[in-house]
Amino acid sequence: MDHRQISTDDEKAKTSRGGGGEEETETLKNRIRGHDLFRLLLEKHMECLKVSLGGKGDIGTTFEAADNTECNHNSQLSSDLDELMELHCMALGKLKKDMEIELQETMSFINDMYLQLN
């Protein structure tokens, strides 16, 4: 079996699994970028990055305030994408809170150790 046969078989398998290609990927990316919660997701992601840097780093990107300040929007979930975006938004919010708690505990421990050493 030569390499052309293998690549053809791979392409057939990809197509049968629904891996429709670059056009389908771009369409999905555009749907995600156009979603109501996308800007909020970006903001929450940036907040997580800021916390991970200890609040001292400059991320270099700012976003205007999103119209939806809460992850729970009032409309009924109409698709899997709506549910995914909402769950991701909530997960990022929880991650940020958890990281802040860990950072506070770490800083408290370091400060206590510093005081004991002095």
Confidence class of residue 61 from pLDDT cuts 50, 70 and 90? low
The predicted structure's pLDDT at residue 74: 40
The predicted structure's pLDDT at residue 21: 86
Sequence-separated (6 or more) residues with CB below 8 Å from residue 67: 36
The predicted structure's pLDDT at residue 77: 41
Q: CB of 77 within 8 A of CB of 70? A: no
Mean pLDDT calculated for residue range 41-66:
73
Confidence class of residue 47 from pLDDT cuts 50, 70 and 90? very high
Q: CB of 77 within 8 A of CB of 83? A: yes
The predicted structure's pLDDT at residue 73: 47
Instruction: For 73-86, write each residue's pLDDT tens digit.
Output: 444 445 888 888 99
The whole-angstrom separation of Cα 96 and Cα 46 is: 10
Residue 34, SS3?
Answer: coil
Helices (H), 37-79: 38-52
Tokens of 11: 């392409």
